[in-house]
Structure 1
Amino acid sequence: MSINIARPHIVVSSLDMERLEALIDSLPAAQADNCAALLEELARAELVEPEAMPPDVVSMNSRVRFVLDNAPEAIEMTLAYPKDVNGAADKLSVLTPIGNALLGLKAGDSIAWTRPDGASCQVRVVEVVYQPERAGELHR
């Protein structure tokens, strides 16, 4: 995934950052492309403590409604660690291009990225339906 020039500000909690860095370190070299895109996003993120996470930002384990390419209907999924996806249709791995594009965005933000097939795509966050930090789950 290569991100286009206009990238919105993103916020990531210190807990998510720590866990994502551990995940990246544990992955086989064959998944380096997924890791490179996620590392690029994490490198530009504003880091905050979980209790300081803005309530409208997509963090790990957030349930988020988003739209791809201005589709008429939003998709609602939970941004998850790969180990938690287990084939669930309503969970999206942070290692997918859309997953790492959503991480750290706030409601109303959009980001453009290039899909693996080379086509350009846009994802827009409609709503953060559930966010662990907002629910008081600071040490999940």
Structure 2
Amino acid sequence: MADLPSIIVAEEDYNRLSTLIERVAGQSDVADGLEEELSRADLKPLAEMPEGVVTMNSRVRFLNEDSGAENEVALVYPHEVDGADHKVSILAPAGAAMLGLSIGSSIEWPMRGRKPIHLKIIGVTRNA
């Protein structure tokens, strides 16, 4: 198994996500995985987060390394997913996978019923 990339998580996001994980404990394999991710994260106040790191409510631009296509999504809390195509819940496997990564990081994005695709983060815009 490959080494997991180190991740940086904003303390504010960590606190909200810890509460969310407690609320859905035992109901979601993704929440269990997210809890594991958070346990190895380097925590920093949001004001001190380096540029280009994915935080909650970031807009993340990807390069699909399989097709060459670019796409952009926002990483949001579950109640903020309103059916819009360009929002990914932190409790979705891909959402949990991207938290704390930075520009240049690559992830495997699970696709329902198909092989995963390989995405490289090429831009991160943090909402104020």
Is the shorter-chain TM-score for this pair beyond 0.5, marking a shared fold?
A: yes
Q: Does 1:73 pair with 2:69?
A: yes
**1:43 equivalent among 24, 39, 43:** 39
The CA deviation string for residues 58-117 of structure 1, in whole angstroms up to 9 with x for no partner, is 000000012345331122010000000121111000111111111001101113477777
Q: Give the aligned partner of residue 19 of structure 1.
A: 16
The structure-2 alpha-carbon separation of the partners of 1:66 and 1:47, relative to structure 1 and needing over 3 Å to count, comes to: same
Sequence identity (%)? 38
User: How big is the alpha-carbon RMSD for the aligned residues of Structure 1 and Structure 2?
Assistant: 2.2
1:7 and 2:8 equivalent?
Answer: no
Q: Which runs of 5+ in 2 are unaligned?
A: none
Q: Given the two structures, how large is their TM-score scaled by the length of structure 1?
A: 0.80
Runs of 4+ in 1 over 6 A off after TM superposition: 113-118
TM-score (norm 2): 0.87
Separation in 1, partners of 2:99, 2:34? 9
Which of 89, 93, 103 aligns to 2:89? It is 93
Q: Report the equivalent of 2:59.
A: 63
- Other structure's SS at 1:79 match: strand
What secondary structure sits across from 1:42 in the alignment?
helix
Unaligned runs of 5+ in 1: none
One-letter amino acid matched to 1:61: N
The answer to whether the 8 Å contact 1:60/1:103 transfers is yes
Q: In the TM superposition, what is the alpha-carbon distance from 1:6 to its structure 2 partner?
A: 2.5
2:49 to 42, 49, 53: 53
Higher relative contact order (CA 8 A, sep 6+): 1
Bigger fraction of residues in strand: 2
**Structure 1 pair 36–123 and aligned structure 2 pair: CA distance change class (3 A):** farther
